[in-house]
Amino acid sequence: MEYEAFARDIERLEFSNRSDLLYDMPVGVAVVKGRNELSIETVNREFLRQEGYTREELTGSGVLYADYIYGEDVGFFEDMIEQCKERKSTEAMELRMRTKDGGVRWE
């Protein structure tokens, strides 16, 4: 299944069903929400394993997704988010993320 079609299908699901589906996926997934300052709505088990954070560390109050993106990729991420907002669409992105142990990992 094409990623874009898969993303549209996930958007149509109720949040609890979407969370169940995402939680068991074999790849790391983070769902980001918000307008100007994006926060992490939910992450799956594989994302937590790869990054080394707990769910609470990533989805807690005041936590911004951009805080976990590798510095050089923040501008790209912000540009892609603006394009998605303008088109009212979703987009798959690969970014370098800062892991809890200080490493950098492509996600």
Give residue-wise pLDDT tens across range 57-94: 998 888 888 899 999 999 998 898 888 889 988 878 88
Q: Residue 19: name the closest of 58, 49, 45, 38 by CA.
A: 45
pLDDT in the model for residue 17? 60
- In our burial notation (b when 16+ CB lie closer than 10 A, e otherwise), range 58-88 reads bbeeeeebeebbeeebeeebeeebeeeeeee
Structure tokens at 42: 């939910």
Mean pLDDT of the chain: 83
Q: Is the model's pLDDT at 51 over the cut of 90?
A: yes
User: Which residue has tokens 């109050």?
Assistant: 61
Q: What percent of the chain has pLDDT over 90?
A: 31
* 32-42 mean pLDDT: 83
